[in-house]
Amino acid sequence: MKISPHFSRSEFACQCGCGWDTVDNELIEILEDVRFHFNAPVTITSGCRCEAHNSSVGGAKDSYHIKGRAADFKVKDVHPDDVYEYLDFRWDNIGLGLYKTWVHVDSRGTKARWSK
Per-residue pLDDT of the chain in tens (116 residues, 90 and over written 9): 899 999 999 999 999 999 999 999 999 999 999 999 999 999 999 999 999 999 999 999 999 999 999 999 999 999 999 999 999 999 999 999 999 999 999 999 999 999 98
* pLDDT computed for residue 70 by the predictor: 98
Start-to-end CA span in the chain (Å) = 33
* CA 31 from centroid of its chain's CA atoms: 7
**What is the DSSP secondary structure assignment for residue 77, as one 8-state letter?**
T
pLDDT of residue 107: 98
Q: Is 9 helix (H, G, I), strand (E, B) or coil?
A: helix
Single pTM value for the model: 0.95
**Which residues, listed in sequence order, are joined to residue 87 by a DSSP beta bridge?**
none
- How many Å apart are CA 76 and CA 18, to the nearest integer? 28
Q: Cβ atoms within 10 A of the Cβ of 36, count? A: 11
- Residue ranges of domains in the chain, CATH in brackets: 9-115 (3.30.1380.10)
